[in-house]
Amino acid sequence: MHACSCTDTHDTRRVVLTGGPGAGKTAILEFMRLAFCRHVVILPEAAGLLFGGGFPRNQSPVRLRAVQRAIFHVQRELEESTSGDNAAIVVCDRGTPDGAAYWPGPGTLWDAVGTTAEEELGRYGAVIHLRTPSDANGYNFRNPLRTETVEEALEIDETIGSIWSRHPGYVEVAAAEDFLVKAREALEILRGEVPTCCRDSVSPSFVV
């Protein structure tokens, strides 16, 4: 994040960065934080906040449902917390629809929290889906909170795609051998979402 001379009032637009485990989302968000101006606000991941804070976690359906409802509400409030920031873009580290990929049933996550898939998809202006690499190592950033195998990671990535691809602003970023190629593509897409009043404040070394 760096200086920006823009004094406009922005219509805040939410952009989701999502992807299966190992897709490099955390590192790309870090680049985004460095490359864009203060009017591009980057939110933390709701699941990361909860698990990092010790929210009880195991594979029992009761726990899985509690976790996903908690993530949903934390995500909603994270987004709400930026409403006074005059942000041009709020980058969400996953959005509320991602939780549907982890919902064990019965019923849907949407029923459980009193909303619909359409309403939740409609909260976001654009969706950048970073695909999980299919090789065993992927982008191994040694995330200590990660518990999935490669096969599970790919399956989750597929499910995330099936949830978000209905969104009219859905864009996929393929897994590239060179991680920086993938990162640059994601940054370019985000730059395209930034309004012209703030676009000149993008740090060029990150996007050329």
- In one-letter notation, the amino acid at residue 147 is T
DSSP codes, 21-55:
TTS-HHHHHHHHHHHSBTTEEEPPPHHHHHHHTT-
Site for Zn ion in 1-20 (CB under 5 A): 4, 6, 8
Binding mask 169-188 for Zn ion (x = CB under 5 A): --------------------
The total of other beta-carbon atoms located within 10 Å of residue 158's CB is 14
Residues 6+ apart with CB under 8 A from 89: 12, 13, 14, 15, 36, 39, 40, 41, 190, 193, 194
Between CA 198 and CA 160 the distance in angstroms is 30
Which of 67, 87, 198, 202 is in the footprint of Zn ion by CB under 5 A? 198
In the set 39, 129, 182, 191, which binds Zn ion (CB under 5 A)? Answer: 39
E strand or H helix at 119, and its extent?
helix 117-121
Nearer to Zn ion, 6 or 109 (CB): 6
Residue whose CB is less far from Zn ion, 86 or 115: 86
Q: How far is the CB of 39 from Zn ion (least distance, A)?
A: 3
# of chain residues touching Zn ion (CB under 5 A): 8
Q: What are phi and psi of 35, to 5 degrees?
A: -85, -25
Report the 10 Å Cβ neighbour count for 91.
Answer: 23
Residue 89 is a binding residue for Zn ion (CB under 5 A): no
Query: Closer to Zn ion at the Cβ: 37 or 43?
Result: 37
Binding mask 150-169 for Zn ion (x = CB under 5 A): --------------------
Question: Which range, of 51-59, 123-131, 159-167, 191-199, touches Zn ion by CB under 5 A?
Answer: 191-199
**Minimal distance in Å, beta carbon 206 to Zn ion?**
15
Rounded distance between C-alpha atoms, residue 23 and residue 174, angstroms: 9
Binding site residues, Zn ion, CB under 5 A: 4, 6, 8, 37, 39, 197-198, 201
